[in-house]
Structure 1
Amino acid sequence: MATRRGQDTESPYGVCRQRGRVGRWGPGERQNSTQRVYTYRFWISRRSFRYLGRYSDRRQQLYKGVAIKKFILVVLVLLVVGAAASIAYYLLTKGERVARPQVVGSVRVEILNGCGEAGVARRARAYLRGKGYDILGIGDAKGHFPQTIIVERRSPTNTNARLLARTLRLDETDVTQLLDSLSPVSVTLIIGEDYGKYLPDTVETIQ
């Protein structure tokens, strides 16, 4: 006795829903070989779809986890490379800053006597030449200066004046600026009454 369309039937392989095929068997009816093959194929196909669905979900979760791990790894690599580049740049620029004060031959100095004592400008010329500076000339300043002043003439950042101040062990607050791009002088030293704290009495004591 055949079953109606859409009715579930029991089989050795599980519950099978009839799909309108003529000749389906009902409960208690004997199955022929063709019916058994169809039932088995239908049962396998249902299990296969379920398995493929679960496998697809697992694969998507796996791909998401791998993508997140790759993203974190890329971020960490970029951070490490950036930190290494920053450290390398700092070390290189620090080496340049340390080495720059040793190059004084390109700094052209004008020395002016502002304390009124004879021979002080010549002593300063000998001292700075011994340090490697290029002395363009000496002379007398207009006026009297109780404190030594270093005047920057070329660099907007007072590079030459600060270099000379470090050589004479003077404070950088003694540095001022009077820029003149046409002047051959890099920096002007105006010697004040306090020259004794940085200028030795003789050239021999310098050397």
Structure 2
Amino acid sequence: MRFFIMLVFVALLALATGCKEKEPPKVQEKRKYAGSLEVLNSCGEVGSAAKMTSFLRRNGFDVVSYRNDLLQNYDETILVLRNPEWEGAQALAQTLQTKNIMKVASKRANDIDATIYIGKDFKQIIEPEQGETNDKE
């Protein structure tokens, strides 16, 4: 009974003094998408894989490798999901501004969650982030 009376007393005291819980400060942090990405230059433009890798890393994605693809004539960027269960897939597709998404059952899913085949449209994807314009001649 004593415990109950003490509990009621503490509750009334808290209400009377206006005890409010403070909200923790909001911290904005860049979201990290667990997963491993591979970036392949499939457009033929020198340096596109490195530029795309920098763009993706700035947007919170983990690019574990980038290199030239054997074929270098893709017009559009393609996202190949090697692990269709990866939770970052939708965010990656939005970041790449692409609907060219393929799901592939792959033995590499243990190492790579997705492969990005860079198409000739890659500047339209990364330039708004970099603030570049098309006025270059």
- TM-score above 0.5, yes or no: yes
What is the aligned partner in structure 2 of residue 192 from structure 1? 119
Counting strand residues as a fraction of each chain, which structure ranks higher? 2
Correspondent of 2:61 among 122, 133, 138: 133
Alignment partner of 1:135: what SS? Answer: strand
* 2-structure distance, mates of 1:104, 1:145: 29
Instruction: Determine which structure has the larger helix proportion and give its number.
Output: 1
For 1:1-207, what aligned pairs fall within 5 Å after superposition?
103-143=31-71, 144-155=73-84, 159-170=87-98, 172=99, 174-183=100-109, 184-200=111-127, 205=131
Distance in 2, Cα, partners of 1:204 & 1:148? 18
Q: TM-score by structure 1 length?
A: 0.43
Cα separation, 2, equivalents of 1:159 and 1:105: 8
Instruction: Report the CA distance shift for 1:103/1:181 in structure 2 as closer, same or farther (over 3 A).
Output: farther
Normalized against structure 2, the TM-score is what?
A: 0.63
Q: Are the counterparts in 2 of residues 150 and 161 from structure 1 also a CA contact under 8 Å?
A: no
Change (3 A) 1:204 1:145: closer
Q: Residue by residue, what CA displacement relative to the aligned partner does 1:86-116 show, whole Å, maximum 9, x if unpaired?
A: xxxxxxxxxxxxxxxx854312110000010
Structure 1 or 2, whichever has the larger Rg, is 1
Gaps of 5+ in 1: 1-101
* Cα drift, residue 155 of structure 1: 1.7
Counterpart CA distance in 2 for 1:117 and 1:127 is 16
Select the structure with the greater relative contact order (CA < 8 A; seq sep ≥ 6): 2
Question: How far is 1:146 from its partner?
Answer: 1.2
When the two structures are aligned, how many residues end up with a matched partner?
101
Amino acid across the alignment from 1:185: I
CA shift digits 1:125-153 (9 cap, x unpaired): 11111111111100111212111100000
SS where residue 89 of structure 2 aligns?
A: helix
The answer to whether the 8 Å contact 1:109/1:137 transfers is yes
**Equivalent pair of 2:38/2:63 in contact (CA under 8 Å):** yes
Matched residue, 2:3:
none
Query: What do you get for the CA RMSD once the two structures are aligned?
Result: 2.4
Instruction: State whether residues 151 and 161 of structure 1, in contact with CA within 8 Å, keep that contact through their aligned partners in structure 2.
Output: no
Give the structure 1 partner of residue 16 of structure 2: none
1:185 is paired with a residue of what secondary structure?
coil
Q: Aligned pair in 2 of structure 1 residues 186, 103: CA closer, same or farther (>3 Å)?
A: farther
